[in-house]
Structure 1
Amino acid sequence: MFPKPNKILVVGGNAAGPAAAAKAKRTSPESDVIMFEAGEFISTGTCELPYVLSNEIKDWKEIIFFDQHTFEKEKGVKVYLNHYVEKIDRTKRTITVLNKLSNHRYEEQYDKLILATGSIAKYIPSLPKNLQNVFTLKNVKDYLAIKNFIENNHVRKILIIGGGYIGLEASEAFHKLGFDVTILEKESLPMPSSDIEISHLIKEILEKNKINFLGDAHDVKYKISDGKLKAITYKGWEFDFDLILIAIGFGPNNFLAVSSSLQVGKYGGIKVDQKLKTTDFNIYAAGDCIEIKNKITNKDDYIPLATIAYNSGHIAGENAAGGNAYIKPVIKNAAVKVFDKYLAYVGINSVEAKENKFKFESISATANNLVHVMPDSQKVFGKIIYEKYTQKILGAFFLGGKEVSGYADLISSFINNNIKVSELSNISFNYTPPLSPFINLMTILGKKLNKDSL
């Protein structure tokens, strides 16, 4: 049994950081736990930002779940906002902290250190930084900057660069606000991380809602003047815009790890073991800055999801405080709202299955989510990717109503417990006309597989 550390420092205050700090304090109440956050806010709801943007969530302050005072009072953790950690000295076991308000630098000693530095929004290298009308949507500060620009400028046309889940959610948000919205995507279809059937269906949803989609955007020219991005040239045509949102994904914020020679992986995330310890015995890491084992591929992967960040924060906090918790390989399980539909996706897609050399097949079907005579009945599409000989599920996609979340959770459970896809046809699904169909989509998929296997 290791002695309890006297001082535990946590760098980062969004999802993993507060979870780690609170758990460390609960595990070792006698330890001094301090959390540093470079920004103005801690414990914010990042996934809720598109719905704040659209005014579905009326007040942005509702997605700030703790401030520094309430967190200290309830969790017993000292919090410093606007304190940027610039450097780690692993030999001396100190961090160098810049107080951004006073511009004062100082060193803070640690017994154990937890890095929860999160992720950073990717940017287009050919674009200058600090363009007045170009934004990302990663945190509350980004939202406030967008809101301020819209309120103080004439905005009619909006360009979203990136057709993934942030781009899709933002397109709906801006559309609800009455703007003319265009999505620019380097791939031929939106949501390129999905299988092609899903991407085609999502493009149809965008077209139905009058969102302009420009795919195959490989040789785009940007027209910049007066500190703004005024227009783009796409396939010989020039389009002008008032506001641009870059939504091309996220990458791990690994500056501290790299500068202190901690090992990072293929995707740039910090390498950790099952106890979330880095290559330094006294440093742990959690959240969107780490790579984590994918249960399906059994390889390190980068999966920046809030649920995983929160869970990994708990484990890192417990272990930094002398505990003995382990993180298990994870299954990607996420969803995105696309206007009046929802896309849920779990596991890996067909491209990833091929890259990992699985011999796989797939089944797909479309069915009603309720009995067809019910007024709210609508179609839901499902596709399941499975290993050919073992029938183990590798991944799935569902596009329909809110029921798709439950479908994805069921498939995640199948994957986690190594249940064959054919067993779907043996489940007794719940039934009542206003809530479910007489024959569940999952049953149809299972029976389709068994028929195809005869």
Structure 2
Amino acid sequence: MKTVIIGGIAGGLSAASQIKREDPGAQVIILEKSGDVSYAACGMPYNLFYKDKPVEELYALDLDTIRKERGIDYRQNHEVIRIDPVQKEVAVVDLINAREYRESYDYLVYATGNKPIRLSLPGFEDNDVFYFKTLDDTRLVKKIIYEKAPTNALLVGSGYTNLELADVLYNMKIPPVILEKSATILPSFAEEIRAKVLEKIEEKGITLHTNVDIMEKNGTVVSTRAGDFDANMVVVSIGVKPNTELFSAAGGELGVAGAVKVDRFLRTNLPDIFAAGDCAEHYVRQLGRNGYMPLGPAANKQGRLVGSNIVNSKAMKMFYGIDQTAVFKFFDLTVATTGLSERQLGEIGANYVKIHVDTPTRGAFPGGGIMRVLLLLEKGTGLILGGQMIGQDVVAKRLDVIATAIYKQMTVFELAELDLSYSPLYSPVWDPLLIAANKAAKEA
């Protein structure tokens, strides 16, 4: 059995590793366009802090381990330019040696990830504009920071990436200015959570402009409807889109947000072609349908399942799905979400209740902080539909408890009875989750 995988970052390498794990004799070829191997993209902003720490330290595995220990034929700088689903082969360009060749397959895994949405405006193809999506982007930003010593930075977009970058650049003494086209930031978060992020932006003296329409960039000056901004460095992070042109050109069907349409087994409409990761749809359990939320954990889970389903083609398993759990850091705050958002609940016409509480994260012990817990629950039944948190100290792991509760379809009445650990070093005697659950139980 021969499997060709297009893309070798998260989903692609996970698929390859699982195939070799279950069938050591299988032939697995990864064709990766870049010169890198699978890496932890979420660590890129924090690598900027360290002048001499190579970005290659973000690699999940080194090339020798992939090739020798896992037995995977991993080919860097090999770009697939065409898929022929009838002949079951791909056309490949070896970018280093400038030669084109064809590679046949029994199974094909499409794992090309996504790419940044670019600003098609004058000046935004300049060398001092970065989209901060790949390790090459990180290399270039580090080069600018440590060789040109910028005195300020303009961040276009206010999503997770640029908020994390704002934190990093601020602490590197490079004052950031954020421009956001929408009326507010973090639209998937409730106002009660968003307000705390805005408070932190104001506390740090970071300039944020919303409702901004950008017109052009001329040299170091970015012209907008809100005025002109002079910047030594510009980072654009206004969203991503699935990298699907190659698949679509081969007759592949696209779905939500232009991602590769997949069934629950992660098969596409093309014979013996699977898709995984940031280029593919993701089944959202609570909605009972596919959505698109490109994050590393889902990409790795999908890749592993694709690998297993290729080996076990007569006994394939379904992708269980995601609960839309995500977290990011913003200065001393952790901001996290799981389950459905208010916007999604409104779209499906749910009858829901929202509560939030502010509470200390620890008992009578130095340190800790304050956190805000927000719960969304079904009116009448108390079924937990979503949860969001923001605060200092241990936030992410508490959010994981809510993610688990949603996975098991628990109610706030059940959440209130959980036997959570207590020590003043880690929690008040009533954990913030229990306080929130008890308040929610009264509103259900």
TM-score, reference length from structure 2? 0.96
CA shift, 1:434, in A, is: 1.1
Q: Which runs of 5+ in 1 are unaligned?
A: 1-5
- Structure 2: how far apart are the matches of 1:55 and 1:360? 46
Greater alpha carbon shift after TM alignment, 334-343 vs 422-431:
422-431
Find the residue that maps to 1:231 and give its secondary structure. Answer: strand
- Structure 2: how far apart are the matches of 1:439 and 1:12? 47
- Structure 2: how far apart are the matches of 1:168 and 1:56? 21
Check if 1:96 corresponds to 2:91: yes
CA shift, 1:62, in A, is: 1.4
> Retained in 1: the 8 A contact 2:375–2:440?
no
**Hey, what does 2:306 align to over in structure 1?**
316
Matched residue type, 1:169: E
**Hey, what does 2:290 align to over in structure 1?**
300
CA shift, 1:363, in A, is: 1.0
**Hey, what does 1:224 align to over in structure 2?**
218
CA shift, 1:377, in A, is: 3.0
Alignment RMSD:
1.7
- Structure 1: how far apart are the matches of 2:36 and 2:441? 53
**Hey, what does 1:442 align to over in structure 2?**
433
Residue 119 of structure 1, aligned match among 114, 117, 120: 114
Find the residue that maps to 2:145 and give its secondary structure. Answer: helix
**Hey, what does 2:129 align to over in structure 1?**
134
Matched residue count: 442
- Structure 1: how far apart are the matches of 2:327 and 2:132? 18
**Hey, what does 2:34 align to over in structure 1?**
39
> Retained in 1: the 8 A contact 2:340–2:386?
yes
**Hey, what does 2:320 align to over in structure 1?**
328
Residue 155 of structure 2, aligned match among 154, 160, 170: 160
Check if 1:357 corresponds to 2:349: yes
* Aligned positions of 1:16-35 closer than 5 A: 16-35=11-30
Residue 69 of structure 2, aligned match among 62, 69, 74: 74
User: Residues 356 and 330 of structure 1: is their aligned pair in 2 closer, same or farther, counting only changes over 3 Å?
Assistant: same
> Retained in 2: the 8 A contact 1:41–1:67?
no
> Retained in 2: the 8 A contact 1:361–1:386?
yes
Find the residue that maps to 1:342 and give its secondary structure. Answer: strand
Find the residue that maps to 2:300 and give its secondary structure. Answer: helix
Question: Identity of counterpart residues, as a percentage?
Answer: 28
Matched residue type, 2:323: I
CA shift, 1:128, in A, is: 5.1
> Retained in 1: the 8 A contact 2:29–2:74?
yes
User: Residues 252 and 90 of structure 1: is their aligned pair in 2 closer, same or farther, counting only changes over 3 Å?
Assistant: same
User: Residues 113 and 292 of structure 1: is their aligned pair in 2 closer, same or farther, counting only changes over 3 Å?
Assistant: same
CA shift, 1:205, in A, is: 0.7
- Structure 2: how far apart are the matches of 1:207 and 1:327? 42
Greater alpha carbon shift after TM alignment, 132-141 vs 180-189:
180-189
Check if 1:179 corresponds to 2:171: no
**Hey, what does 1:3 align to over in structure 2?**
none
User: Residues 13 and 127 of structure 1: is their aligned pair in 2 closer, same or farther, counting only changes over 3 Å?
Assistant: farther
* Aligned positions of 1:329-348 closer than 5 A: 329-348=321-340
**Hey, what does 2:281 align to over in structure 1?**
291
**Hey, what does 1:451 align to over in structure 2?**
442
Matched residue type, 2:11: A
**Hey, what does 2:422 align to over in structure 1?**
431
**Hey, what does 2:376 align to over in structure 1?**
385
* Aligned positions of 1:200-219 closer than 5 A: 200-217=195-212, 219=213
CA shift, 1:220, in A, is: 2.6
* Aligned positions of 1:362-377 closer than 5 A: 362-371=354-363, 373-377=364-368
Q: Which runs of 5+ in 2 are unaligned?
A: none
CA shift, 1:388, in A, is: 1.5
Matched residue type, 1:300: N
TM-score, reference length from structure 1? 0.94
